[in-house]
Chain A
């Protein structure tokens, strides 16, 4: 830890880039990371508004809010497509862009220009996607199954396919950049097994993207040809085969589920370890389980097609789908063991981390239930599936994103988020999330089909509960937005390392200078060695370099926590 000990004349303080920097071409990975995240948050609002429309329609069993069934189809198709391709994937790419080079102690990504190029494919793609709403209805859901997507949807489907093409190219280029960066730009002393776990999950995610996304590109090419070229790849009446689409689409889209969730798992590992002041339990297994998930993720696609597949092929996919619960289980137990007996600080980031942990387990369990063939055939295409995927993607990925925002906002902006608002945001989100998506399990088991605007009146009570909770969930998001806008100007100043974390993104000022580090940082041999004397010396050195670890109110408790002999920060003491 030699480098940290030399104090500089003045504390290093990066300045927040001017807003114009974010509006134009920039090759700085930190600018690009924020560009990704802000773009993604925009799509989050759009997708969220669509979700509110869905819930408003489903308040009553009759068709009232949407003008027609077609319009309702369009609403939920857009909701799914935007949330997945416009929100979660770019948001994770944003976190990756900002923090992977920082965690590696590097100045930038391996290919800064390519990085910027990959980002700038997203705005036109997003415009195409939104434009498709006005061109003609997309009625096939985000899965775009033919013949719905070929014979029944409007020209919007073609635009959406083109848009997904662009987004696919963007994420492949981004992923190549991540892989090369992680392989070649690690600092001396950081082997693969000294890397922070977030970087590990980004590596696994990038590998999936490079191998899986081209499948989607291939399928979309055929789909576009069918739509505008007059070919009949998916037209069963003319020698085509609808299963070709389903197979190739799920070749991509099942691994894509892990593209969305794996980085979230990485964020969770960071947040849980830092905020409970404990080393990651079973670091190597957690790191390797990411690769395990990536690999097994390629062998389970057909469980999405249990009802359309030849019966004798179902059982093998039921088995692989259950096997993939094993590496996921390794992670969950590691997280539990990590926070066990830790000095837990119930910061907003930690709360969302625990929220992820609890909700993702429910999503995982309903996933195993769905992998069970007889059960799946019963609840196939019902709200049970909707519940499952929202527990995984909202309770998993989005909660992780929230945790990441609360955890890293000080690093990006140099200001702390308001913890009290953060906790309020958490409690409202957590409760309303559960009340929105858990009752869907009952609706599904009772037989309410997904993707319908008109349903049997006996489901109305459940749907009213779901809708009201859904509205609360929608509104709760604005607490976060308000918090972010307000804290940008009025938040407490954040020091270089407000959480006293050991990973390298905290070994520079907040926000980091444009070169990231003034001198090459030296990584800890164990990035999660909280409570060790080595860690204490490291943090002490950091304090010498960057000044006291602001904000002050954390200081006493945190210093005590690091010195390993006091009580955890009492809840509420932060304010």
Chain B
């Protein structure tokens, strides 16, 4: 549920970003040099409404909201489903930071691979270590 919310928000943001990209089209030579940095504009368009702050602030608000949702979902209840939802939200937040704050959406694709490949290696490593770990922890 929370995840859906997130992806929805995300799509809107990416739409907004596309618009901004055109708005920030380079005009002179110096702008040419740095244009690949994709400087977002000072406003964010969400659902047709223009909000008076940049996309980064919008992402921050979403991150904060997701954190609140996480805490609400996570405290008190537990179980496999809850754990999966929480993990999904956490990865969603990480995705937002990585793609917007660390600019992976617009930067060199190679950087994405540089992050994703070790991530796969690391996650497989963690899963393996959990798999082979002994059931009970020795002498209590």
State in angstroms the CA–CA spacing of A236 and B129 once bound together: 16
Contact B138 A239 (CB under 8 A): yes
Min C-beta distance of A207 to chain B, whole Å? 9
| Cross-chain contact of B118 among A211, A240, A247 (Cβ < 8 A) | A211
Known: A211-B117, A211-B121, A215-B125. A310 touches B138 (CB 8 A): no
**Binary CB contact string for chain B from 106 to 140 against chain A (1 if under 8 A, 0 otherwise):** 00001000000110010001001100111001111
| A548 and B117 alpha carbons, distance in the complex (Å) | 49
Judging by beta carbons under 8 Å apart, are A251 and B125 in contact? yes
B129 interface neighbour in A237, A238, A244, Cβ under 8 Å: A244
Judging by beta carbons under 8 Å apart, are A298 and B138 in contact? Answer: no
Shortest beta-carbon distance, A219 to chain B, in Å?
A: 11
- Please, what's the 1-or-0 string for B27-50, where 1 marks a CB less than 8 Å from any CB in chain A? 000000000000000000000000
Q: Does A552 contact B (CB under 8 A)?
A: no
Question: Quick one: which of A217-251 are within 8 Å of B by CB?
Answer: 236-241, 243-244, 247-248, 251
* Cβ A240 vs Cβ B129 within 8 A: no
- Partner of B139 from the list A237, A243, A309 (CB cut-off 8 Å) is A237
Min CB distance A294 to B, Å, is 11
Mask for A388-402, Cβ within 8 A of B = 1, else 0?
Answer: 000000000000000
Partner of B138, one of A211, A238, A309: A238
Do A248 and B129 contact each other (CB < 8 Å), given the known contacts A211-B118, A298-B121? yes
In this assembly, does A313 line the interface, its C-beta being within 8 Å of a C-beta of chain B? Answer: yes
Distance in angstroms from A252 CB to nearest chain B CB is 11
Bound CA span A237–B137, Å: 8
| The residue from B118, B132, B139 contacting A310, defined by CB atoms under 8 A apart | B132
A244 and B118 contact, CB distance less than 8 A? no
Could you tell me the distance between the alpha carbons of A215 and B122 in the complex, rounded to whole angstroms? Answer: 9
Give chain B nearest CB distance to A213 CB in angstroms. Answer: 12
In contact, B133 and A244 (Cβ under 8 angstroms): yes
What 0/1 readout, one digit per residue, does chain A (187-215) give for beta carbons within 8 Å of chain B? 00000000000000000000000110001
Nearest chain-A residue to B124 (Cβ)? Answer: A298
Say yes or no: B132 contacts A238, CB within 8 Å. Answer: no
Complex Cα gap A244–B137 (Å): 13
Contacts of B140 in A (CB 8 A): 239
A251 vs B118: C-alpha distance when bound (angstroms): 13
User: Which residues of chain A are near B117, meaning CB under 8 Å?
Assistant: 211
CA distance A238 to B134 in the complex (A): 13
- Expressed in whole angstroms, the minimum distance between the Cβ of A304 and any Cβ of chain B is 14
Q: Which residue of A lies closest to B125 (CB)?
A: A251
Selected contact of A241 from candidates B118, B134, B139, CB within 8 Å: B134
- Are B125 and A237 interface neighbours, CB within 8 A? no
Chain A residues whose C-beta falls within 8 Å of the C-beta of B138 in the assembled complex:
236-240
Measured between alpha carbons, how far is A167 from B140 in the docked complex, in Å? Answer: 38
Give residues of chain A (525-542) contacting chain B, Cβ–Cβ below 8 Å: none
Residues of the A chain whose Cβ atoms lie less than 8 Å from the Cβ of B125? 215, 248, 251
A244→B130 CA distance, assembly (Å): 10
What are the residues of chain B within 8 A of A243 when measuring CB–CB? 132-134
Q: Interface readout for A369-394 with B: 1 if CB under 8 Å, 0 if not?
A: 00000000000000000000000000
Residues of B within 8 A of A241 (CB): 133-134
Assembly CA distance A178 to B140 (angstroms): 49
Interface members, chain A 469-519 (any B CB < 8 Å): none
CB distance from A224 to the nearest CB of B (A): 19
A238 partner residues in chain B, CB cutoff 8 A: 138-139
Q: How far is the CB of B45 from chain A (nearest CB, A)?
A: 36
Instruction: Note all chain B residues with C-beta closer than 8 A to A236.
Output: 138
A247 and B139 within 8 A (CB)? no
CA distance A210 to B121 in the complex (A): 12
Q: How far is the CA of A379 from the CA of B18 in the complex (A)?
A: 63
What residues on B are CB-neighbors of A210 within 8 Å?
Answer: 118
Which residues in B have their C-beta under 8 angstroms from that of A313? 132
Indicate whether A247 sits within 8 Å of B132 (C-beta atoms), given known contacts A237-B139, A239-B137: yes
Question: Smallest CB-CB separation from B129: which chain A residue?
Answer: A247
Q: Which residues of the other chain, B, contact A298 by a CB distance below 8 angstroms?
A: 121
Closest to A218 in B: B125
User: How many angstroms between the C-alpha atoms of A210 and B139 in the bound complex?
Assistant: 38
Chain A contacts for B139, CB-based, 8 A: 237-239
Residues of B within 8 A of A248 (CB): 125, 129
Nearest CB on A from B134, distance (A): 6
Q: Scoring A residues 416 to 441 as 1 if CB is less than 8 Å from chain B, else 0, what string do you get?
A: 00000000000000000000000000
Residue of chain A at shortest CB distance from B117:
A211
- Residues of A near B133 (CB, < 8 A) are 241, 243-244
Shortest CB–CB separation between residue A506 and chain B, in angstroms?
31
Question: Once bound together, how far apart are the Cα atoms of A239 and B133, in whole Å?
Answer: 11
Residues of A within 8 A of B137 (CB): 239-240
The residue of chain B having its C-beta at the shortest distance from the C-beta of A179 within the complex is B114
**Cα distance A110–B140 when bound, in Å?**
54
CB contacts under 8 Å to A, within B63-92, are none
B140, closest chain A residue (CB) = A239
Tell me how far the C-beta of B54 lies from the nearest C-beta in chain A, rounded to whole angstroms: 31
Contact B128 A247 (CB under 8 A): yes
Taking the nearest CB of chain B, how far is it from the CB of A332, in angstroms? 28
12 A-B interface contacts by CB (under 8 A):
A210-B118, A211-B117, A237-B138, A238-B138, A240-B137, A240-B138, A241-B133, A247-B128, A247-B132, A298-B121, A309-B132, A310-B132
- Partner-A contacts on B (CB < 8 A): 110, 117-118, 121, 125, 128-129, 132-134, 137-140
10 other A-B residue contacts (CB within 8 Å) besides A247-B129, A247-B132, A310-B132: A210-B118, A239-B138, A239-B139, A240-B137, A240-B138, A243-B134, A244-B133, A247-B128, A298-B121, A313-B132
Instruction: Kindly list the 3 A-B residue pairs having the minimum CB-CB distance in the complex, ordered from nearest.
Output: A239-B137, A239-B138, A236-B138
